[in-house]
A = this chain, B = another copy of it.
């Protein structure tokens, strides 16, 4: 345990050259003699030398490190983004330091400060609950990318900064959902959400607007789900079981699956009695029974793109423009009447909306 780490000086001594030569050999400088390099490489292996990144980054003023903040690693959707991000970063020799913000501004500030202490060359924030300008100020001069910023002030997605923001096009997604539901013949459509963050507000608003466009004067009944992730909000479930709207659009898949489970306990059948829609297309959406109609966000890709944007910003010194990524409506059983026979096949909706796919 108390062994010191091998340093470049040890290697230099071992093969009778200067530390500069060892450094150059390891950095693949072309001017080093092939035989010298060979000796160095051999000594490195023999001694088990591994360069000290801290020392290196101190002099080159770059850490080859990206910081990634996510709300909560427990959520599969965040995990997928992490996977994409880490993959892209690793492909370019960057390491990633990870922090969970838990939707708490204080924790998020601490995480950001930690990234700055680590002098991360770039920082990505998923679901940040802080104002974007505050973040920019804190991390300056490192580039930041916001993925699905959730600061309430961002509701409507109009006020994302012009560069360095990545978003799925929730609004288009919700329009497609509403259109699909209406075309399928559902009349009373409700929304279940309630986190109060930007995307919750935006999604609800998008549903309301789309609904009003086709049926002026209609108001959107909204259920406020207060339970934590995965947990059923029994009050909401009971209310929906009682009200029996034709369809409920949920904030995300987790909520939708919880709701479906809760409704089953109440003896309410989905989609026959109440249709349910989710958001995200987590892997379980298609394994649920009934399989869940949802909006797929390209999450892994968003993670990859976040890293790629940072890498480009680091290299070029200028942050790429913000992007809005397309989502896909995936129609599955939870919004399509199944035949009476248990285990029966799904029936296609009359006319699937544009930009939608039918699954299976």
Contacts and interface: CB of A to CB of B under 8 A. Distances in A.
Interface in A208-259: 229-230, 254, 257-258
A98 B100 contact: no
B317 A230 contact: no
Interface string A82-119: 11001100100001111110000000001001101111
A79 B90 contact: no
A52 interface: yes
Given A50-B117, A117-B52, A119-B52, A342 B73 contact: no
Interface stretch (A148-156, A187-195, A197-205, A283-291): A283-291
Contacts of A196: none
B96 A264 contact: no
Given A2-B317, A73-B80, A343-B267, A97 B99 contact: no
Given A54-B58, A98-B82, A3 B73 contact: no
Given A1-B317, A74-B79, A53 B119 contact: yes
B95 A97 contact: yes
Contacts of A260: 287, 289
A321 B61 CA distance: 41
A301 interface: no
Contacts of A90: 99-100, 110
Interface string A35-50: 0000000000000001
A141 B342 contact: no
Contact of A141 (B1, B74, B98, B257): B1
A5 B257 CA distance: 48
Interface in A275-306: 283-284, 286-291, 300
Chain A interface secondary structure, helix, strand, loop or mixed? mixed
A347 B266 CA distance: 17
A230 B283 contact: yes
A22 to B, nearest CB: 16
A189 B117 CA distance: 55
Assembly of this chain: how many copies?
A: 2
Contacts of A100: 83, 86-87, 90
Central interface residue in A118, A261, A267, A287, by most chain B CB within 10 Å: A287
A33 interface: no
A300 B72 CA distance: 12
A51 interface: yes
Given A54-B58, A74-B76, A343-B264, A258 B287 contact: yes
A253 to B, nearest CB: 10
Contacts of A113: 50
A256 B219 CA distance: 42
A103 to B, nearest CB: 13
Given A50-B113, A76-B74, A99-B90, A287 B261 contact: yes
A76 B284 CA distance: 11
A57 interface: yes
A18 interface: no
A140 interface: yes
A350 B116 CA distance: 59
A114 B66 CA distance: 14
A238 to B, nearest CB: 15
Pairs of residues from A and B, 4 with the lowest C-beta to C-beta distance, nearest first: A79-B79, A289-B289, A54-B54, A73-B82
